[in-house]
Structure 1
Amino acid sequence: MKLATYKNGTRDGELRVVSRDLSRSVAVPAIAPTLQLALDRWGELAPRLREVYVHLNTGYVAGEESFDETRCHSPLPRAYQWADGSAYLNHVELVRKARGAEVPESFYSDPLMYQGGSDAFLPPRAPIPLCNEDWGLDFEAEVAVVTGDVALGAGPEECARAIRLVMLVNDVTLRNLIPAELAKGFGFFQSKPASSFSPVAITPDELGPAWESGKVHLPLRVEFNGERFGEPNAGVEMQFSFPQLIAHVSRTRELCAGSIIGSGTISNHDRRVGSCCLAEQRMIEIIEEGAARTPFMKVGDRVRITMTAADGQNLFGTIDQTVVAHE
């Protein structure tokens, strides 16, 4: 099943069921006006939404219209929880190596996680506002899952059953603000502005065999200013699966339906596949050449993030964002 949220002037938008090929969609106010309501009552409402989805793919549904990604907000325009991991240790290893630091042994058994701002996400086709180019704006292409309710202390098997949807992420980061914030010993805040998510969120079964062991085994493509920047496989070298990441969060707290858990920047050891963020490319340059030469994003730069199935189908729609000066 594929779901999206159209902007409609309200904070939470209008829930749409989207056809498998992303060509058509229909609003379902009689079932659930918003995605959050659908998630709150998933056991009751998901079968009804799926019935609409089946009809949308096989015939005509009253009220259907062409699907327009430019009308989409992030599937959840705001969420009760947005926690992002760093499950690809190749990325962590490169960052540490560029600084001349070792990766602590605990990083291989205990996930890294930060809690991001979730009160207002950017739409997937909205510009990225930038106040100051000196802040070092970067994109980070990731995969995320949306959960149902998760009990305090839930283990990975229970957490796996709580995964409702999968989507893509552009985890926007202000790299040059990070060092001073981390030096305070209290984590990210100003260095993590609003992120954006793919136009469409999908149930894991839509991935077929590419959804295995709580991971998405497909390449994630990033284009920067019209050129391929990276296409690493999201299922390769993911140290911690999504059920493990969710279990890490639920160790000390309950998660409510609509919580979003991110994978962290997709990263493979094979450098031929490129990177999913500018910082990683800069770290490689530091390691190999002694200095970074790739600049961070500036006004006018554009990033596109997509994932396609084995048959070439665009699974989630496209995150397509251009940097603009914030007024």
Structure 2
Amino acid sequence: MKLASYADGSRDGHLVIVSRDLTQAHFATGIATRLQQVLDDWGFLAPQLDDLAVQLNHGKLRHAFPFDPQKCLAPLPRSCGWAVVGAEGGVQRDAGTFGAPHQPLRAPAEGHPALAAIAGDLAAASDAPAALDALRLLTLAVDWRLDGELIATQCAPLALTPDELGPGWAGGRLQARLHLLHNGSKQPARDVDAAPGAALARLARLRALRAGQVAGMSLGDLGLTLAPGDSLHLDLKTAEGSSLFGAIDLDIAPPDLTP
């Protein structure tokens, strides 16, 4: 299933189910209103959401409406923690908020994209197969850093269960391509090969993970020089060119022209 959080004036947004072709959505009201609720009670609530997704994909929900990514917050606006995991383990970031997919930056910053794995509860010292079992959802995220300091983390509009990833998901690994547009100009796409179970296991080497912990697998830096007024479009796609998580569209505030 594909999940998103619509902005409704609250900190966490309102949970919606999104159709496989990204054209329709339906509120998950009656099952859960926030994604964290689902992560806390996954075994009971996720099957209900999956049934709703099946009905949506078959056009059987009377109150479905056109999906609008511009109305989305990050799928999980507030997490239990955010860490970018490398070969040497996890680098813990502050537990806090994730920015919306269209949230602008006030100044140019260095972008570091990552495949983000959203976990359920996971015991300390769990191995990779156990960690893979605790994987709940995947999405695309970007860390923005200014002078080496993390200033924001932005997420794509959708979080997906692994079964939605198609032939690019096999053996607990995701294979896809990261596509970038800088000021409308296409940049070289880069191949992505990531193992979320292994990343979560590395993060859980010394401590248990709570439902809602997010582990990022670095996709390198963007390698772009950004300037005020620039725009950036990032989209992780299948080999066939279908968007997996929806796009992150970033605008950097233009220079202040006030005399």
- Whether TM exceeds 0.5 here: the answer is yes
Query: Can you give the 5+ residue segments of structure 2 that lack an aligned partner in the other structure?
Result: none
Tell me the equivalent position of 2:179.
221
Correspondence 1:170 to 2:142? yes
Task: Say whether the 8 Å CA contact 1:117–1:194 is kept in structure 2.
Answer: no
| Equivalence for 1:209 | 167
Q: CA deviation at 1:325?
A: 6.3
Contact 2:101/2:156 (CA < 8 Å) preserved in 1?
A: yes
Equivalent in the alignment of 1:78 = 78
Aligned residues: 256
1:45 aligns with 2:45: yes
Q: Identity over the aligned pairs, expressed in percent?
A: 33
Residues 1:315 and 2:213 aligned together? no
Helix, strand or coil at the partner of 1:118: coil
Asked if structure 2 preserves the Cα contact closer than 8 Å seen for 1:153 and 1:251, the reply is yes
C-alpha deviations, 1:289-311, integer Å up to 9, x for none?
xxxxx6x3221111111122344
Q: Which residue of 1 aligns with 2:98?
A: 121
Say if 2:222 is the partner of 1:277. yes
Check if 1:244 corresponds to 2:202. Answer: no
Retained in 2: the 8 A contact 1:17–1:53? yes
1:232 pairs, out of 190, 215, 225, with 190
Partner of 2:120: 148
| Contact 2:180 2:234 (8 Å CA) reproduced | yes
| CA distance in structure 2 between the aligned counterparts of 1:305 and 1:262, rounded to whole angstroms | 16
Distance 2:163 2:255 in 1: 40
1:221 and 1:306 in contact (8 A); partners too: yes
Shift in Å, 1:45 = 0.6
Asked if structure 2 preserves the Cα contact closer than 8 Å seen for 1:129 and 1:326, the reply is no
TM-score (norm 1): 0.74
Match of 1:200 among 150, 158, 176: 158
Provide, for residues 201-249 of structure 1, a one-character-per-residue CA deviation record: whole Å limited to 9, x for no partner.
11111112211233211111121111122311111xx5xx322221111
Q: Which amino acid letter does the alignment assign opposite residue 223 of structure 1?
A: L
One-letter amino acid matched to 1:157:
P
Contact 2:19 2:57 in 1 (8 A): yes
Matched, 1:32 2:32: yes
List aligned pairs for 1:251-262, cutoff 5 A: 251-262=205-216
Q: CA deviation at 1:326?
A: 10
Q: How well do the aligned residues superpose, as a CA RMSD in angstroms?
A: 1.8
User: Partner amino acid for 2:16?
Assistant: R
* Distance in 1 between residues matched to 2:38 and 2:135, nearest whole Å: 14
Q: Are the counterparts in 2 of residues 111 and 245 from structure 1 also a CA contact under 8 Å?
A: no
Give the AA of the match of 1:115: Q
Amino acid at match of 1:304: H
Q: Does the 8 Å CA contact 2:181/2:233 hold for their aligned counterparts?
A: yes
Q: Distance in 1 between matches of 2:254 and 2:153?
A: 17
Separation in 2 of the partners of 1:78 and 1:159? 21
Aligned-partner Cα distance in 2 for 1:250–1:141 = 22
Aligned residue identity for 2:4: A
List runs of 5+ in structure 1 lacking aligned partners. Answer: 87-109, 179-190, 267-275, 279-293
Q: Work out the CA distance in 2 between the residues paired with 1:40 and 1:326.
A: 44
